[in-house]
Amino acid sequence: MQYDAIVVGAGLSGAVMAEQMATVLNWRVLVLDQRPHLAGNCFDERDQFGCLIHRYGPHLFHTNKKPVWDYLSRFTSWQPYEHKVLAQVGDLQIPLPFNLNSLYRLYQPEQAKLLEQQLLERYGTGARVPILELRQSGVEALQKLADWIYNNIFVQYTMRQWGISAEQIDPSVLSRVPVVLSRDDRYFHDAYQAMPVGGYSQMIGAMLNHTLIDVETGVDALTRLTLSEGKVRFDSECFQGTVIYTGMLDQLFAYQCGELPYRSLQFVFQSYEYPYYQTATTVNYPLAPDLTRITEFKHILGDKGSGTTVVLEYPQDYDKNDPKKNIPYYPVFTSENQQRYQQYQALAAQYPQLLVLGRLAEYKYFNMDDAVANALAIFQSRLANKG
């Protein structure tokens, strides 16, 4: 079979690009994925109770990007879902992000009321005040509140998430952690918040269900795809078409410039023969020594099975040689790592037919809507005029 394009990776980024090349350009496309399933880290499936679970941790769709919403709506219908998160701090469960409801969980009513008045007078109703700004407010009571939030909710959680010390936390990260001066407990405030009916695997399957797209899973594409001296070979033959690569760029080039660091995650699934495990979809454990959060999937789609499944999440360093740590989830952003990534970008640039795409290949953090928007934009800028 002769293909116009080969896509390495059947996650969101690869699926969008494959669908666009087939639908818009009328290209014949081969999609390869090393896992035995589609959808990448978005993969979901039913547990023994019939509840839909996310095998690689919770994926909650939210966006303000109407073009992304409209695009995905071609492949799925939606069930509205607004995510809520609690933080378990001692015996308290506190809504996150920290808001006025959290304030009244933490303090006695009289003290909470006084703090609320001070916050609203200084910042205004509905404001999202960065924790760093609150710590530097110059108002003793507000600084004490900010210090409590920082020490009990933010700092240890962030240290475990990224494997860094408190001193290494970038101030820009602090600037993004808000105290929300409202009683809106929703974790996200995007215009569109919903879950694909039937799940992400079904949605991505629909995207790839095209007469011009062939999909092979359980395939290590790098055993069939070789790059050398500016030329691409596939199955030992010269390949003249387009290659979309969504995997790790250092792996594609055999770690010539050294390894790019990533963070990995260990997911421990537990099932119970009773209706619910916890009161919210996600409960964060900011003071636990290893665990960061527990997610109960049943809350998301309102599945009615007799039992329930939860997943416990433990951050860890990525290690390609350890089967328990060999799935990369997040790039580790440092200037040194960015410089190394740029070396790999320079290698990739020697192959004009190669497009690198997605969180791993671009060494960026993308939310799901970002991944879709990015793939659509790259298709438009690099390929749309080739039809």
pLDDT for 164 equals: 87
**Which two structure tokens, joined as six digits, stand for 12?**
């969101």
In a domain, 323, yes or no: no
Give the pLDDT score at 137.
94
- Using an 8 Å Cβ cutoff, are 15 and 228 in contact? no
Beta bridge partners of 296: 310
Clarify whether residues 73 and 140 are in a common domain. Answer: no
For residues 74 and 117, state if they share a domain: no
Say what percent of the chain tops pLDDT 90.
93
User: Residue 200: which domain range?
Assistant: 5-81+194-257+331-386
Say yes or no to pLDDT of 180 above 90.
yes
Q: Residue 361 belongs to what H/E stretch?
A: helix 358-361
Question: 30: left (phi > 0), else alpha (psi -120 to 50), else beta?
Answer: beta
pLDDT at 333: 85
Whether this model's pTM surpasses 0.85: yes
| pLDDT (tens digit per residue) in 227-280 | 999 999 999 999 999 999 999 999 999 999 999 999 999 999 999 999 999 999
**CATH code of residue 62:** 3.40.50.720
Q: What number is the average pLDDT over the span 58-70?
A: 99
Query: Does 222 share its domain with 176?
Result: no
| pLDDT tens string 5-15 | 999 999 999 99
Residues 169 and 89 in one domain: yes
What SS3 class is residue 386?
Answer: helix
> Same domain, yes or no, for 103 and 167?
yes
Average pLDDT, the chain: 96
Dihedral of CA 317/367/281/74: which sign?
Answer: negative
Query: Is 292 inside a domain boundary?
Result: yes
The average pLDDT across 285-296 equals 97
Same domain, 248 and 168: no
Span 99-139, pLDDT tens digits: 999 999 999 999 999 999 999 999 999 999 999 899 999 99
* 23 lies in some domain: yes
Residue 166 pLDDT level (bands cut at 50, 70, 90): confident
Torsion of the alpha carbons at 32, 33, 36 and 42, rounded to the nearest 10: -130
Q: Tell me if 187 is assigned to some domain.
A: no
Residue 312: pLDDT band (50, 70, 90) is very high
Kind of pairing between the strands at 242-245 and 5-8: parallel
Of 276, 294, 317, the position where a domain reaches its end is 317
CA 318 to chain centroid: 16
pLDDT number for residue 155: 92
Residue 185 has a pLDDT of: 97
Using CB atoms within 10 Å of the CB of residue 136, give its burial: 0 to 12 exposed, 13 to 18 middle, 19+ buried: exposed
Among the three residues 180, 205, 237, which one is the final residue of a domain in this structure? 180
Same domain for 73 and 170, yes or no, is: no
Tell me: pLDDT of 304 over 80. Answer: yes
Contact criterion met (CB below 8 Å) for 96 and 284 = yes
Domain count, the chain: 3
Q: Is residue 185 part of a domain?
A: no
Domain boundary among 146, 180, 214: 180
**Domain check: are 98 and 171 in the same one?**
yes
**Band of residue 169 on the pLDDT scale cut at 50, 70, 90:** confident
Same-domain status, 24 and 76: yes
pLDDT-based confidence at 334, cuts 50/70/90? confident
* Per-residue confidence band for 354, with pLDDT thresholds at 50, 70 and 90: very high
Q: Containing H/E element for 376?
A: helix 368-382
Indicate whether 123 and 71 sit together in one domain.
no
Is residue 120 in a domain?
Answer: yes
**Is 122 among the domain residues?**
yes
Q: State yes or no: pLDDT of 172 exceeds 80.
A: no
Mean pLDDT on 82-107: 97
Task: Flag whether pLDDT at 307 surpasses 80.
Answer: yes
Considering the domain architecture, whether residues 96 and 54 belong to the same structural domain is answered as no
> Is residue 93 assigned to a domain?
yes
* Same domain assignment for residues 232 and 339: yes
pLDDT at 171: 75
